[in-house]
Amino acid sequence: MNNSQASSLNELIDSNDFFENPLDVYESYTYTLEWFVVDREADIRYQEFGESLNVQTVVNDGWPGPEDVKITIAKTGVTTEFNIVDLTVDAQGAGIASSSKLAGTATYLEFSVVEVGETSLNDNLQNAVALCGWRGVDSAHYYMKINFIGVKPDGSTVKMPQTKVLTFTLQKVTRLSSTTDARGTSTVLQGTILNDTVIGNKSSVSKTEGTFTYIVGENLYDTLGVTEDTDGTPKEGSFIDELNKNTKRRHPLLVEDLQNTYRITMSKQFKELIKDSTMSGVTADTIKNMKPPMANQVGQVLPLLSIFKIIDDIVLNTLKIKEELGDLSLPITHQKICDYRKKITTSKDPNIQRGTRYSDFYATSELRDLLFHVQEHTFTLPQVKGLLEELNLTFCGFESVDESTREKLANGKSNLNNLYSLDSWHEFEMSNPDYFTGMYSFWVQKTL
């Protein structure tokens, strides 16, 4: 813009360029509103802005698309059971680079919904949220779509390519204010508008984004994907390899330079410590010749788990304690067991100290079974699931599950099937690594 002093309005207009207002071509304009909720995948795609959809798609009313799960809660401009009236949007500042490209300065909205007839906004809201996979009304992400309608000089109308979409969460969901008049029952709703963050800040790089499996190799190197290659390329099928592949699958349109990638390096001391370790508690030859054969050695990873905790789960286990404390070759004498117990109690490593929590630790014969059992095999729940599938067995639940754990896993009583899902139990164990301190004890039946 030319900032020199203009002597008249015409001179100011002639000496500067201005953006045209797309609404100027119409005699007048109005707008329609739609309040809706989408499933978690569609919500993530919208927040990823620039990968699986772009600004042009949204402003031309192209989102949500036919592939997205969407449930409309209320509209305006049409006759429905729930009508939106009196929308107010508050904004402040000029916006920042990490905020939404469509509503970068909007911070708060308020609107009313009029219920017509024998309807219940609360019931419909609860159902819509549940069907889209959200945990509750207070945690769900909602969307308000604003479509502008232009009125031409001849009285005809046209929908303008100026659609706005606001993402928000509801406030005070347990104390909604309602009034009743000739129109019906009106409920005032207030929401906090969420900024859809830029790609580099939209998700934590410390958590997994999707479900995947990795191969449990013969040793820690192969399982984690540690290599000596100068480019750090992990072993095919290893944890890091599958983690990187999963990240790319989740963001197929994101350019290579913006993809999150992971690699693991080890200190010389740690390499020396684990160089002869195995991941199964038995040698590779024993694994190959076991009867019946073991299930495919795979680990399963679920979304939103801490990557560090997964690595911690792989590395810090009873095998690690055994290997760090020295030679476990036969025969295991009474004196050797006593010497190992002393090393554990004097270790400064908190993960080694975990062994002292077990009552078996304080009796020599029981400690022999705990740490020196010659026929012990270590399994994860995904491996147990693989074994059951090979044997055509169905998991029927764990024994002696306390009420608190049952409530937490089943989310009250809304997801009782989680109690009979090894995937759900694996996710629970990853967050509560000390829950199964002994053997897995569960019921199975033949798959019908």
pLDDT tens-digit readout, 263-297: 888 777 777 766 666 665 443 333 344 444 444 46
Contacts by residues 384-389 (CB-CB < 8 Å, ≥ 24 positions apart): 384/422, 384/440, 385/300, 385/422, 385/423, 385/426, 386/295, 386/296, 386/298, 387/294, 387/295, 388/422, 388/444, 389/295
Phi, psi of 389 (to 5 degrees): -65, -40
In Å, how far are 50, 119, 316, 360, 411 from 319, measured between CA atoms? 45, 61, 8, 17, 34
| Structure confidence at residue 204 (pLDDT) | 56
Q: What percent of the chain has pLDDT over 70?
A: 71
What per-residue string of b and e applies to 61-91 under the rule 16 or more CB within 10 Å gives b? eebbeeeeebbebbbbeeeebbbbeebebee
Cα–Cα distance for residue pair 421/426, rounded to 1 Å? 9
| pTM of the predicted protein model | 0.44
| Structure confidence at residue 280 (pLDDT) | 54
Kindly report whether the peptide bond that precedes residue 303 is cis, defined as omega within 30 degrees of 0. Answer: no
Q: Where are the alpha helices (DSSP H) in 264-371?
A: 268-274, 284-289, 307-315, 318-325, 334-346, 350-353, 364-371
Domains of the chain: 21-201 (4.10.410), 203-317 (no CATH), 381-446 (no CATH)
Phi, psi of 155 (to 5 degrees): 95, -10
| Structure confidence at residue 370 (pLDDT) | 73
In Å, how far are 95, 103, 111 from 189, measured between CA atoms? 25, 19, 6
What per-residue string of b and e applies to 321-358 under the rule 16 or more CB within 10 Å gives b? bbbbbeeeeeeeeeebbeebbeebeebeeeebebbeee
Q: Mean pLDDT, consecutive 10-residue segments, the chain of 448 residues?
A: 64 73 77 91 72 71 88 78 86 52 68 81 88 86 90 84 87 66 78 62 65 81 74 83 88 69 80 66 40 56 78 62 55 79 77 70 77 68 83 87 82 75 85 76 86
pLDDT tens-digit readout, 355-403: 777 777 777 877 777 777 666 666 778 878 888 888 889 998 888 888 8
Cα–Cα distance for residue pair 145/61, rounded to 1 Å? 9
Tokens 């054969």, located at residue:
293
Cα–Cα distance for residue pair 69/320, rounded to 1 Å? 46
Cα–Cα distance for residue pair 25/43, rounded to 1 Å? 34
| Structure confidence at residue 2 (pLDDT) | 52
| Structure confidence at residue 37 (pLDDT) | 95
Cα–Cα distance for residue pair 297/301, rounded to 1 Å? 14
Which DSSP string do the residues of 235-278 spell out, in sequence order? PTTSHHHHHHHHHHHH-TTS-GGGS--------HHHHHHHTT--
